[in-house]
Amino acid sequence: MEMGAIWSEVWKAFLLIIVGMLLLRVSGRKSISQMTVPTTITMISIGTVIVQPIANHSILLTIIAAVVFILVLFLAESIQVRWNAAESFIKGPAILVIREGQLQPQNLKKLRMTVDALEMQLRQQGISKMSDVKTATIEPNGGLGYELFDWAKPITYAQMEALLAHYLKGAPPPNETNRQSNNAMSESNLFAEIENDNRHVSKRTLH
């Protein structure tokens, strides 16, 4: 087999996988479990169309193309680990859909996501009221990330320990206040980071 034919298939496979990734990136962010019937059919069809130019050739060329697909996947993942900008371009950032208990309709439009679909994800997390949600995001994989208001959060072991100590001894347990303050200082809020990123994007869009 000529080397020219092999290199031709390598470049063809490389181009097809890049185009496929871009098409899936544009199509939206949904995990497999969240795909509707039309979405699933579309994704399968895209995969079939992408592979079709290679499948009509010899088995060896098909294997070479499959290896190129895997190598491109590894390369894309390595680039995402090294550069945040590349990760944002390939996967996309988390999008804020609820802020301070209020729905963000503009961001839902960007995601092409209905309110009913968002409410379904909230129900799956056991959340009955949108007003209980301080911050909610749709992650790059289509999953829901959320932070509840303090009054809606389940009590933690540390909080129960503090309450029992206060009830039994009339004072908070030793180092409880210091531990909580140290944790607050050392750990940044993950949702605040997403909120700030979304605000920066909005400002750039307005300008």
pTM confidence score = 0.56
Domain boundaries, the chain: 3-90, 95-206
Distance CA 10, CA 67 (A): 9
Paired tokens of 75: 């390369």
- Dump the DSSP string for 132-170: GEEEEEE-TTS-EEEEE-GGGSPPPHHHHHHHHHHHHHS
Q: Provide the 3-class DSSP secondary structure of residue 158.
A: helix
- Where is 15: in which H helix or E strand? helix 3-27
Q: Which residues of 73-89 are buried (b: 16+ CB within 10 A; e: fewer)?
A: eeebeeebeeeeeebee
Mean pLDDT calculated for residue range 73-84: 80
Paired tokens of 104: 């963000």
Query: pLDDT tens for residues 103-148?
Result: 999 999 988 888 998 999 999 899 989 999 999 999 887 889 999 9
| pLDDT-based confidence at residue 13 (cuts at 50, 70, 90) | confident
- Where is 40: in which H helix or E strand? helix 37-55
**Weakest mean pLDDT among 50-54, 68-72, 83-87, 120-124:** 50-54
- Where is 47: in which H helix or E strand? helix 37-55
Distance CA 17, CA 140 (A): 19
- In this structure, which CATH number among 3.40.50.300, 3.90.25.10, 3.30.240.20, 1.10.3720.10 belongs to the domain 95-206? 3.30.240.20
Segment of 1-5, 88-92, 107-111, 182-186 carrying the highest mean pLDDT: 107-111
| pLDDT-based confidence at residue 149 (cuts at 50, 70, 90) | very high
DSSP state of 29: -
Q: Provide the 3-class DSSP secondary structure of residue 96.
A: strand
Segment of 8-12, 62-66, 161-165, 180-184 carrying the highest mean pLDDT: 161-165
